């Protein structure tokens, strides 16, 4: 990072350079309990006090370069929740020993790093660490592409977000159609769980990404209707043997027989539809996503047996299905007041999702089914900046407490070409 800042004046003078990024600052008040046990015994936490939070969910630095002759590159470095931090301090209660302690939580990730060769508008080949554009949020995850202060909850919960993986992508545009097909390292079924379905499956707890079972992703966009984009996307891949060590597959040398789980694949299929209408004053966006996981009972059993003792896996079960559907609309009311510049959208959003639909014999978890309603304002003083405020109300099936909140945020997104 320091090197990038030192080289910036030199880089900025180069031709064909693109520098930019996006970021968000958020603060809010949650009028419900923050106890991790509030769903296990909701009656005990109904009158808990509210709690406030301040956060920088995402801050991204973007750098791209066009080498000419069809060759280009792009990188994105993302700081989530301002990154991570640790410090050494001397513990006098423990014989003055030095100890390293985590000062704050967060993540620093290389979200994109790829090199591309463009042959024609209809044919481009990209290799490296790539965004997997399955779902509306992964395709347009920057903060000016949704009205809420935080990313839309349904897709963010059940799918990796932002979903990025290492692989090869072929994409192109022809008239009103755009396509992208890719082979990526694949998801790890041992990272799936009850609360978030496959959300954590794209990450890796190791220094490398296991790719025993690569995944296939596809996206098709159509813009035949003015101001309207219609999109279909999906993912298919086996997930069980993408962990390390890969000791669930192969032969038991003491007996010569295949190992107990050698033939279990954990095949995952995800399908998604999303759209966006962007008019002069009206914006409407929506999504519908569905995922199905084979062998979820077996995967859950293996996870339960192998979690603990420093394992990166949780004991939480994963269901056979998950879904999310959302719709939002915003209307620019600033012209009503005679304003010549800026935009002020009044918006509303509703979504319903469930991260855990169990297979036969699995334990129920009714709290994973949620309906989220929100409404608020987005003010754009200039096109690159949005000031957001909203009221959000999260509802559950009967027996659980509702979760209302108020959020305020400011976000930017800008790209500069030289």
Domain contains 305 = yes
- Of the candidates 370, 361, 276, the one whose C-alpha atom is nearest the C-alpha of residue 323 is 370
Q: Which residues pair with 374 in a beta bridge?
A: 349, 392
Number of structural domains, the chain?
A: 1
Q: Which residue has the tokens 């991260």?
A: 355
Domain contains 290 = yes
Helices (H), 131-198: 136-139, 153-158
- Could you list the residue range(s) of the whole structural domain that residue 275 is in? 69-82+102-344
pLDDT at 7: 47
Q: Write out the two tokens for 166.
A: 């290492």
Domain contains 49 = no
Domain contains 259 = yes
Domain contains 118 = yes
Q: Which helix (H) or strand (E) holds 305?
A: helix 296-306
Domain contains 46 = no
Are the C-beta atoms of residues 81 and 107 closer than 8 Å to each other? yes
**How does strand 257-258 pair with strand 267-278?**
unpaired
pLDDT at 249: 86
What does the longest C-alpha to C-alpha distance in the chain come to?
82
Domain contains 402 = no
3-state helix, strand, coil in the chain (%, to 5): 15, 50, 35
Are the C-beta atoms of residues 84 and 104 closer than 8 Å to each other? yes
pLDDT at 74: 95
Claim: this prediction has a pTM higher than 0.75: yes
pLDDT at 325: 98
- Of the candidates 134, 139, 137, the one whose C-alpha atom is nearest the C-alpha of residue 148 is 137
Positions of the chain with pLDDT under 50: 1-3, 6-7, 10, 12-13, 92-94, 96
Cβ atoms < 10 Å from Cβ of 32:
18
CA dihedral (240, 359, 322, 109) in degrees, to 10, reads -30
Cβ atoms < 10 Å from Cβ of 97:
9
Are the C-beta atoms of residues 372 and 394 closer than 8 Å to each other? yes
Q: Omega of the bond prior to 281 within 30 degrees of 0, cis?
A: no
Domain contains 361 = no
Distance, in Å, from the CA atom of 400 to the CA atom of 35, rounded to the nearest integer, reads 13
């Amino acid at each position: 990072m320091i090197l990038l800042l030192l080289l910036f004046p030199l880089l900025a003078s180069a031709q064909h350079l693109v520098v930019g990024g996006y970021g968000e600052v958020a603060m809010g008040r949650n009028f419900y309990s923050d106890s991790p046990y509030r769903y296990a015994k909701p009656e005990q936490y109904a009158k808990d006090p509210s709690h406030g939070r301040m956060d920088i969910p995402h801050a991204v630095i973007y750098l791209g370069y066009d080498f000419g002759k069809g060759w280009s590159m792009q990188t994105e470095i993302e700081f989530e929740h301002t990154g991570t931090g640790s410090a050494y301090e001397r513990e006098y209660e423990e014989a003055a020993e030095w100890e390293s302690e985590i000062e704050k939580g967060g993540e620093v990730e290389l979200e994109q790093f790829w090199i591309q060769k463009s042959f024609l508008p209809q044919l481009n080949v990209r290799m490296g660490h790539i965004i997997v554009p399955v779902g509306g949020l992964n395709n347009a995850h920057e903060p000016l592409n949704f009205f809420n202060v935080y990313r839309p909850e349904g897709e963010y919960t059940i799918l990796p977000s932002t979903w990025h993986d290492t692989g090869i992508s072929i994409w192109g545009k022809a008239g009103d159609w755009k396509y992208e097909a890719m082979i990526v390292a694949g998801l790890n079924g041992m990272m799936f769980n009850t609360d978030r379905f496959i959300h954590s499956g794209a990450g890796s707890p190791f220094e490398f990404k296991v790719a025993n079972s690569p995944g296939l992703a596809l996206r098709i966009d159509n813009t035949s209707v003015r101001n309207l984009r219609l999109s279909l996307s999906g993912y298919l891949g086996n997930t069980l043997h993408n962990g390390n060590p890969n000791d669930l597959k192969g032969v038991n040398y003491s007996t010569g027989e295949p190992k107990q789980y050698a033939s279990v694949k954990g095949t995952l299929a995800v399908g998604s539809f999303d759209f966006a209408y962007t008019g002069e004053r009206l914006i409407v966006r929506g999504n519908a996503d569905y995922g199905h996981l084979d062998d979820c009972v077996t995967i859950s059993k293996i996870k339960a047996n192998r979690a603990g003792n420093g394992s990166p896996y949780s004991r939480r079960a994963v269901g056979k299905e998950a879904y999310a559907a959302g719709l939002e609309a915003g209307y620019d009311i600033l012209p009503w007041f005679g304003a010549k510049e800026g935009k002020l959208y009044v918006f509303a959003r509703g979504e319903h999702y469930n991260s855990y639909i169990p297979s036969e014999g699995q334990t129920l978890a009714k709290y994973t089914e949620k309906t989220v309603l929100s409404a608020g304002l987005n003010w754009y003083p200039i096109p690159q900046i949005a000031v957001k405020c909203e009221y959000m109300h999260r509802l559950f099936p009967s027996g659980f407490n509702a979760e209302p909140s108020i959020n305020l945020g400011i976000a930017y997104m800008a790209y500069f070409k030289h």
